[in-house]
Structure 1
Amino acid sequence: MKKIATALVLSTLLTAGAFAASPADVEKRIRSLYPATTIHAVRAAPVKGFYEVVMGKNVAYTDENGRYMVFGHLFDMQEQVDLTAGVIEEFSKVDVARLPVRDALKKIKGKGERVLYVFSDPDCPYCKKLEGELAKIDNVTIYTFPMPLAALHPDAARKSRLMWCAKDQVKAWDEFMSSGKLPQGSDSCDNPVERNVALAQSLGINGTPTIIFANGKLAPGALPAVEIERRLSEKAATSAVVVTSTEKE
């Protein structure tokens, strides 16, 4: 029944596509229909007769009437490209100037001219994998925000606090992520662990590891070093979609 309903919606949208309106007219209509919804953009979709609607953190496709919407990812099968992923990436950019780097572990490699921001859980296996990839990259400053996923790793918050309270925070983090060795001492110092969890939620980050590049683009998962290097080098081009792994609550 669900498949039949989806097919009917798509059929309706395709039929309506023969009488296409301008994106501005469609946006005006959608805003009037759904005044409580945050609409970031409405523009012509890659498929003729469809409109791409960016609302909140979601992307939908609709006809000129805006009554029926299809939520999901649009793929160009010939080019093997996820077109929706690029849109989500574009509208999920973070203003890195507003990130509270005082709440992150700061590691400078080489001259540290390039910058990465990483949200990481010490008990997340993919985060440990990412650390191995980051070790291959030079001339970078890495700000690591400890972000324990309590539902998956009940002890991660305590470990995050222990490493933050260590005399040498970066050394403590590196040693634990590479060998599992925790520093001795107390975890009761003033720490940003809870603030980092709240920050991640406000940015729409719900999995670890997640990298934020200097251009504000988010990249979830343990990206390989070669891909991180490519993205560090790019100026403003849209990144290719790379399938990686993250842990989510």
Structure 2
Amino acid sequence: MKYLFTLGVMFSLFMATGASAEVTAKDEKQIRQRLAQAIPGLEVTRISEAPFPDVYTVETRGQETLFTTADGSHLVVGELYQLTSGGVVNVTEQSRARQRAERIQAVAAEDLISYRPKGETKAVVNVFTDIDCPYCRKLHQEVPGLNEMGIQVNYLAFPRSGPNTPSFAKAVSAWCADDPAEAMNRAKSGRSLDSKTCDNPVLEQFQLGQQIGITGTPAIVLENGTMIGGYVPKERLAQALGLQ
């Protein structure tokens, strides 16, 4: 198995042979201590074995993925690619995807604005959306067709202009409406919403989007954490989900 780094340093480190070692409590403690000393403020969320020997994958709260030696003395920051018979696999992005999936799965169902199929739900997509984004509105027009294909669409708020802006206020009004899904339909069609406030998840979801690397909308996140940026026609999205 061969691996390609965007950074050339430490090449010899990864040429060792043998099976990947499990993370021992001693190694994990040592890695956490070394990283805390070297990079104050870095919040490590998980340390796991890398797909090659004597190196561990370190996942952080900010979605940064590091690769470090067992003693924490050397690390690589950047994209790691695995060269396989089927092509090049971005190992770093796989780690990010897993983190995205876990973070979104932790969002309470009642904090989502969901559009569910009438029949069997075959797949679920999570969409970070901005009410005033033209391509978000275009994607919203595809929601009934996605539901017909058995695809559930969950909306999370990502008003790109940020807090204390008209778009942010519209998102709050939608989430606080008596019928959030209908309010979203209304807002996405350009109609006005009654201004409402309540205990709502808009800021939390906006911050979550920033933490998992979202910079624009719509941002579609599949159940496995794969992210698709921008508008995608329903047929292409169904293909990406393996439904066509």
Return the TM-score normalized by structure 1. 0.65
- What SS does the corresponding residue of 1:172 show, helix, strand or coil? helix
CA distance in structure 2 between the partners assigned to 1:97 and 1:69 by the alignment:
30
Unaligned 5+ residue runs, structure 2? 1-6, 37-43
1:228 to 233, 237, 243: 237
Unaligned 5+ residue runs, structure 1? 1-5, 235-249
CA RMSD of aligned residues (A): 3.7
Output the amino acid matched with 1:170. Answer: A
2:91 to 83, 102, 109: 83
Structure-1 residue corresponding to 2:30: 32
For the 8 Å contact 2:50–2:67, the answer to whether it is kept is no
CA distance in structure 2 between the partners assigned to 1:124 and 1:91 by the alignment:
26
CA distance in structure 2 between the partners assigned to 1:170 and 1:26 by the alignment:
45
Judged with a 3 Å threshold, the aligned counterparts in structure 2 of structure 1 residues 112 and 125 are, in CA distance, closer, same or farther, namely: farther
* Equivalent residues, number: 216
Structure 1 position 141 matched with structure 2 position 170: no
Structure-2 residue corresponding to 1:43: 50
- What SS does the corresponding residue of 2:95 show, helix, strand or coil? helix
- What SS does the corresponding residue of 1:94 show, helix, strand or coil? helix
CA distance in structure 2 between the partners assigned to 1:191 and 1:26 by the alignment:
41
Give the Å deviation of 1:41.
0.7
1:122 to 111, 114, 131: 131
Structure-2 residue corresponding to 1:107: 115
Identity score, percent: 19
Residues 174-202 of structure 1: CA deviation (Å, up to 9, x unaligned): 2432x42223x3x134352xx23214535
Structure-2 residue corresponding to 1:67: 73
Give the Å deviation of 1:156.
0.8
Structure-1 residue corresponding to 2:40: none
Return the TM-score normalized by structure 2. 0.66
Judged with a 3 Å threshold, the aligned counterparts in structure 2 of structure 1 residues 227 and 161 are, in CA distance, closer, same or farther, namely: same
